[in-house]
Chain A
Amino acid sequence: MRRITRILAPVDFSECSRASLEHAVALSERFSAPVDVLHVWELPNNVRPDLMVWIEGSDAKQVSQIASDDAAKQMDALLATLPPDARTRVTARLEGGDPIEAILRIAHDEPFDLIVMGTHGRRGLSHLLIGSVAEKVVRQAGIPVLTVRAPVERPR
């Protein structure tokens, strides 16, 4: 029997990933399983990570540095919304790169036995893109995946 001992919770800071994090934290409590909350930040396709950018009056920084600083800030804000006892079981992880590749690699290389993630990402405006990350992860992760949709009113 497969047990739940370590949970990977990829987030993109969307409404939907907040909902999925709630589920991850609830399961972590129930199964005493630690949760790694993973955010993978991405740069636009044709932007070099060492591109220097600045705004008037501040120092120039590499664009990858700006992206990872911003991701760290959003991660802190997200985890701050969790109850204090839940935070003790949560580890924040940031990576740069392609989200699907990073999620699959981490799920494969490390002993996670459950992935909990939202189905609708931040780029979810276009119907075609909706859920593409979750779908690929479900198809390829090789471990159980709990997918959570953005909180919506259920037709009753």
Chain B
Amino acid sequence: MREFRKILVPVDFSESSRLALDYAAHLAGELGASLHLLHVWEIPPYIPPEAMVGVPGQSAQTLSHTAQAHAEHQMKDFSEQVRQAGVQIADARLESGDAARTIVDAADSGGFDLIVMGTHGRTGLGHLLMGSVAEKVIRRAHVPVLTVPSRKRD
């Protein structure tokens, strides 16, 4: 069994991923492990990434460029917030693609020992759809996955 030295925390900037990160930080503190954030942005499958998008008054950009810039901005805000709350983060990465697959691949290629993630993501309206990324990750990941629910039990 491998010790948990390097922890991957996939985040979507939701309250749920914030809770998961807090939990991971607690764990990392006790275990002497490092925390690595990953955000995966996806663009709708039916729109080509090179499609031009724009808002009035600004020059048009490709959809993928706009999405990447938006993700960078969100990741910067998010990591600043958590760093200010005293959480030490080794690095924060952005990737694009299918969220579950990208997370599993990143865990493999980055030599991670553990994935910590929230079960209620931003996508999906109701309880039923939420957590589908976490479920896919659990099924496919080669390393242990710790899921943190956002709702306290009653």
Q: Does A associate with B in a complex?
A: yes
A interface residue numbers (CB < 8 A to B): 1-4, 19, 22-23, 26, 30-31, 108, 119, 130-131, 134-135, 138-139, 141-149, 152, 154-156
Tell me, rounded to whole Å, the shortest Cβ–Cβ distance linking B67 to chain A.
28
Interface residues on B, range: 20 to 34
Cβ B23 vs Cβ A144 within 8 A: yes
- Determine if A149 and B26 form an interchain contact, defined as CB atoms under 8 angstroms apart: no
CB distance B1 to A22 under 8 Å?
yes
**CB contact between B153 and one of A19, A134, A142, A149 (< 8 Å): that residue:** A142
Name 23 interchain pairs, CB-CB below 8 A, sorted by A. Answer: A1-B22, A2-B26, A4-B27, A26-B3, A108-B153, A119-B138, A119-B139, A131-B139, A135-B135, A138-B131, A139-B119, A139-B131, A142-B151, A144-B147, A145-B146, A146-B146, A147-B145, A147-B146, A148-B144, A154-B143, A155-B108, A155-B142, A156-B108
- Other-chain residue from A108, A119, A134, A144 in contact with B148 (beta carbon distance below 8 A): A144
With beta carbons under 8 angstroms apart, the residue of A139, A141, A149 that contacts B142 is: A149
Q: Which of B4-36 contact A (CB under 8 A)?
A: 22-23, 26-27, 30-31
Query: How far is it, in angstroms, between the C-alpha of A23 and the C-alpha of B143 when the chains are bound?
Result: 12
The 7 closest A-B pairs by CB, nearest first: A142-B153, A146-B146, A22-B1, A154-B142, A148-B144, A144-B148, A147-B138
Q: Is B141 an interface residue (CB 8 A)?
A: yes
Beyond contacts A3-B26, A31-B30, A131-B138: 15 other A-B pairs, Cβ-Cβ < 8 A, are A26-B1, A26-B3, A138-B138, A139-B135, A141-B149, A142-B151, A142-B154, A143-B149, A143-B153, A144-B146, A146-B144, A147-B145, A147-B147, A149-B141, A149-B144
A2 to B147, CA, bound (A): 13
**Which B residues have a C-beta under 8 Å from some C-beta of A?**
1, 3, 22-23, 26-27, 30-31, 108, 111, 119, 131, 134-135, 138-139, 141-149, 151-154
CB A7 to nearest CB in B, in angstroms, measures: 12
List chain A residues, Cβ under 8 A from B152.
Answer: 142
Give Cα A156 to B108, complex, Å: 7
Q: Which residues of B contact A139 (CB under 8 A)?
A: 119, 131, 135
